[in-house]
Structures are given as structure tokens and as C-alpha cells.
Structure 1
């Protein structure tokens, strides 16, 4: 093997590297080039639109720029749609884009056209990058190759999540004794969602010949670490680990899917809206998100790599049960996991029950766990 070949063998597969670079560029507020089926476009997240970017896009677009919005945001603007749509931007007006993407009282001010393939790719990259799902797309010649702009191919972007789920793998593990669960091991996986790591916490010595107690716990910085009263996540996390330690062991998967997959920045944006009186799902819809953006195929793969085939899942969320079953795991039993109701989280718990079908008996919770003033 020559030196060039040796260097090439050290690099990641080109398809994954290109998508990962595009994710990094969008998170950094820079544009990416999208190509698909003989078409090409420059895409930039609305968050990165400043005067300099607007001027550059205006010159590049020649009146053909468009704003791509998901169906949730379009509903908020008064346009009921089942799929994403685009609004023409004859000029790249920052105030208009911000209004259409974020303002509470904004309404549709122009026709909404169906989103095309490049538009859907732009939204998928926004989701992977954890930026707001509002993308400015400018068509360019199919053979365009702007200097310094990362290019992402359509087929690779569409396959990226599935490919990452297949490639998730263990990178480190060690015993980490916890309060109330001294026999605990942390196993770190790389992959699954974008460029993030995922953690399996093995509590005690679960019997893998029997259904293993399992919880899929999405990271919640505010609740898990700081004890936020707006949710029950911290109680669920610590209560599950304690229950596993006292009942033969189990596995808690701590998944980097903050804010139901929207990311911490968008979660805090949603919290601001909740402070103004919107429930958790309405707040997300205002920002352009549907009920839940999370995926759990890679979580099932983590369990399989740990040797789990049958589970007793600890959850209130029917989506998690269905996801593990769809991934080929046997769900022998499901068990509820509740936290303390508080004045601050009762509306949140009721919303999860009424709007997302979570198995939460709020009346029973309040009767047995008095609300803290």
C-alpha cells in the first residue's frame, strides 16, 4: 500500500464524513450545498441569517430563494398541511423570515408550495443539526461547486440515521457506583444520533436469560441535573435506578435526545413559550416541531449488543414499547414510571397523557403524592 492508500484507509467512509461535515457546518451557522437527482441548492439555517448572509443569498438567489417550513409551523401560520411547504422569498428579508419562522402572531403572507426533494433534505439536516426547522434554500446550477462549501448528497443524507444506528458501537466501559445502586457499570456507545455518544447504565446483575428491566431515558439537563420542577424526568431517572438496584438489576439507556429530540437550545425556546402559557406540545409546534422527533432504533441496537433479547420496559410512553418491538426485541411486560406531581408540572403531565397518549393516571398520582406548593 502506498502512502496515499494508507492515508485513505484511515479516513471514515466518504458518505458518512460528508453528512457529518454538513451537520457541523449548519450548527456553526454556515451554508451547505445539497445535491439530489440532478438538482442542487445552497441551504442555510434561519438562525444564521444576519445582514451579511442575507445580502449574499440575495445576490446568489436572483429572486428564487425560498423558506422551507415543516407542517407543524405551517399549521401555526394558518396553513393546514400534512407535509412540509415552501414560501417564496423574492427578497431575503430578515424580518419577514424571522416572523414566518418564529413570531407568535405571524400568518401566512404568500402561497405555500409543496416542498421538493432538496427542501426535505434541508429540513432533515436541520433536524440532525438540532437547529430550528426553518431553512432558506437557494437553487444553484447542478454542477455548482462553491469554494469552501461542504456538499451533501441526497441519498446519503436520507440514509444517515439508519447507517448510524447500524454502526453504533461500544467505546468504553467502567464500574461507576451510584448512591443507592453501588454495583453499577457505565457503557458508552458512539453513534446513533448525529455525532453524539450514548450511555447504557447496567444496574446490578440482570439475568439475561429472563426479560431484563429496561428504561429508555432521554437526557433532560434541566430535570436530571438541576431538579427542574417543570417535568418529572429527574424523579423517573433516579427512581428507575433505585428500583432496578432493589429488584434484580436492569439497564437504563441514557440517550442524548434532549427536548424530545429537538436539542437543548430549542427546548429552552419552548420553555420560554411555556412560561407565556402554552403547553409543552403547543410550544414545540410554534417552533416547528411535531409531538416527538426521537428515534429508538439505535437504542434497540445498544440492547442487542449488550445481549438483551427480552425486556420488561419501564415507561409510560407507548411509542417506546412499539419501537423496541419493531426492532425485534420481545417486550414481555411494561411497567409505569412516575415522578412527583408539582404545581409546575401538572399541566405538563396532563398534556403528555391527553395529547401523546402516555399512560399517566394523574388523579391517582395527585391522590397518593400530594402536590408540593
Structure 2
């Protein structure tokens, strides 16, 4: 079950000429994400406000020293991280907070505040206080850090608009803050890249098709088992990548057993599709997942660990699965899942979930608390 391979099909459909060399907004934001992951400062603007933002986790010390020429930065934290650091602070509806740093605050201490310490506790020094900052600038900064799968913590220097041209000549990329937010929150278009038959242990009649998003993000895979009739409800699973469970056989989660049980169920049913989403660690990436594991070893549960690092309970985007199923011509599914959120997202994006097929496998002594947390805090149906 494959769809025609088309290179840059989404952009062609959008009416862009093949000889256009200028970057569109999506490409500019993708460049900002890459620069952020590399530890490069970037520019964002909000009307009359202009700021240099730089990732706490990957910014080099020499670049940090150069940026201090613009004064002491603000440290932008997510509301989750701020609440973890300031549990006695009054509740606020803000999604991001800015802390005024001293020009003498060393980079290592800033990283500890951001969550880079071994158990990600961090301490806010007495001279570091909350400060007002334009919400679009802060939210764009955090969106970039999450898209780059770094700790959600960015340093921000407010600069005069007149300094913009100088920084652009030095190679810094610029995008308006609202454009960053709109682009990173929008559903992605995909192109089919390649496909081939792949006999597997569960079924000799298997195939894998690769889908690539239009923003240069990670590719996702459609794994077809047996014969699939898209005119009938298709046995389907949305499975998020789990290196530790799928590859290493980790006992801390049930992901590996769920993956193999789903493929076996499809083989026994004569056909099915598994959408393999490269959204490791509930969308926070493997490095942050290992940080969360260290926090769990220190006594936190899965959700508490994510919050301690500054993330939401679940940062995955299941719209990706809905888009891929639609591209495969699948409008009705029998969904192998214990997670009602997947059902809601598919239904809200045009995929009819005619049946939820439970997938309760892989419970171990080591993951019993993890599974209980999924049921209690994330609404998974495990009974």
C-alpha cells in the first residue's frame, strides 16, 4: 500500500516556482530551529521589540561573553520549569516567564537554573527576579528550544531595532516572533519519499514507506502488514519511537512489547498499518528523556519529571499520524491503543475511529508505577 513518490510536492502544490531561491517563512523558521540546536543565537522581533535569543543548553561560552556586550540577559523559562523552581509562587496563567540575570551570572549557573543539573533541581539566586518581557518573544524562544529538542530555556537580550542590520551582517537569522509561533504550531505537509517490501518476523508480507515533512523535520514511517483494504476499517496503531523500549528492550516502559504485539495482531488479522512516529520520549527527544529517567530514579513519576524539566505531560503531535493515514487513503481505523487522546486527535482530523482495540502487554515490576501514572494522570485505559 503505497502512494506516488513526489519530491517537494507540498511546496509545488502551494504554487512556488521551482526556480525560486529565496526562503519562505517555513524554511526561515526551520533554519532558526537548526541554528538553535547548534547553539547559535538568532533574532526574533515583535513590532517595535527586537531580541537576540540563544539556547542555554548549547550556547558556547565565547559567544555568551560576546553577547554580554548587549547587557545582562533575561532567562526565559516555561511555566512548568518556573513552577518547579518557585513552588510557592502564586499561580499565573502565563506560559513563559523571564528572569532578570546579572551580567556576572556564570553560564554554568544559568544552565543549572534551566534544568541542566544531574537531577534538574536548580536554584534561583537571590538577585535573579522575574521581569516583564513581551510574551510573543518569550513564547517564540521556548517554541524554538522545544523544536530543537533542547531544554526549554533560552537567554534573551532586548536590543534596539537599529542593531538588527549589524547582527544580520554577522550572519544571525531573523524571523518575526509571531511567524515562528504560527509555523511551529501548524500541521505539517508531507511528501512520500521511498517505499520497499520488507519481510519481517511477524509477516513475510510487509512493506515500509517513508514520509518526509516539508520543514526538514524527522521522517516518519508507514509499516504495512499483509493486505490492507482502505474501503474497510483498517487495523492501525500510532506508535511513537522509543529507542530504549523498541531497540534495547527496556523494562521501564511497555513500548517494545506494544510495538511487537501490534505487528503480530496485524499479521494475525491478515493486514494492518503501523504509523511509526519519530517523537521519542513523548516528543521531548532522547536526551531529555534520559534526564527525565534520572529524575524518575530520584523519586518523581513520569509526568512530574517532564514538568521538572519544563515540558508538558506530552509534547507529541498526533496530527502527523492523521495526515499520513489520509495520504494512504485510510479514513476508518480500528485503533490499537490504550490512549484516548490518540482517538480524539484522529477523529478531529477526519479519521473515523470505529473501534478501540486494547493493547495491554508488557507490564513488569520495573514499569508498574509508570503504567499506573499513565492511567491516573494521562487517562490511559489499562483495565
Give TM-score, length-normalised by structure 2: 0.87
Query: 1:233-260: per-residue Cα shift (whole Å, max 9, x none)?
Result: 0000011001011113111110010000
User: Which is worse superposed, 289-298 or 81-90?
Assistant: 81-90
User: 5 Å matches for 1:94-243?
Assistant: 94-102=107-115, 103-104=120-121, 106=123, 109=126, 110-113=128-131, 116-143=135-162, 144-145=164-165, 146=167, 147-161=170-184, 165=188, 167-191=189-213, 195-243=217-265
CA distance in structure 2 between the partners assigned to 1:11 and 1:350 by the alignment:
52
Maintained 8 Å contact 2:279/2:316 = yes
Unpaired runs of at least 5, structure 1: 1-5, 362-373
- Which residue of structure 2 lines up, in the alignment, with residue 22 of structure 1? 32
Total equivalences in the alignment: 353
CA distance in structure 1 between the partners assigned to 2:176 and 2:283 by the alignment:
24
SS at match of 1:25: helix
Q: Give the superposition deviation at 1:49.
A: 4.0
CA change 1:203–1:357 in 2 (3 A) is same
CA distance in structure 2 between the partners assigned to 1:112 and 1:351 by the alignment:
32
- Which residue of structure 1 lines up, in the alignment, with residue 274 of structure 2? 252
Residues 1:75 and 2:83 aligned together: yes
Q: Give the superposition deviation at 1:94.
A: 2.1
- Which residue of structure 1 lines up, in the alignment, with residue 327 of structure 2? 305
CA RMSD of aligned residues (A): 2.1
CA change 1:253–1:156 in 2 (3 A) is same
Query: 1:163-206: per-residue Cα shift (whole Å, max 9, x none)?
Result: 561x2111111111110211111110001776210101111112
- Which residue of structure 2 lines up, in the alignment, with residue 37 of structure 1? 47
Q: Give the superposition deviation at 1:107.
A: 5.0
Unpaired runs of at least 5, structure 2: 1-15
Maintained 8 Å contact 1:25/1:32 = yes
SS at match of 1:48: coil
Residues 1:284 and 2:306 aligned together: yes
CA distance in structure 1 between the partners assigned to 2:327 and 2:369 by the alignment:
38
Higher relative contact order (CA 8 A, sep 6+): 2
Residues 1:329 and 2:381 aligned together: no
- Which residue of structure 1 lines up, in the alignment, with residue 9 of structure 2? none
- Which residue of structure 1 lines up, in the alignment, with residue 375 of structure 2? 353
Q: Give the superposition deviation at 1:319.
A: 1.1
Maintained 8 Å contact 1:217/1:254 = yes
CA distance in structure 1 between the partners assigned to 2:121 and 2:245 by the alignment:
27
Maintained 8 Å contact 1:213/1:314 = yes
Q: Give the superposition deviation at 1:338.
A: 2.0
Give TM-score, length-normalised by structure 1: 0.89
Maintained 8 Å contact 1:174/1:185 = yes
Residues 1:88 and 2:100 aligned together: yes
CA distance in structure 2 between the partners assigned to 1:47 and 1:41 by the alignment:
18
Maintained 8 Å contact 1:74/1:81 = no
Maintained 8 Å contact 1:164/1:192 = no
Maintained 8 Å contact 2:187/2:319 = no
Maintained 8 Å contact 2:45/2:137 = yes
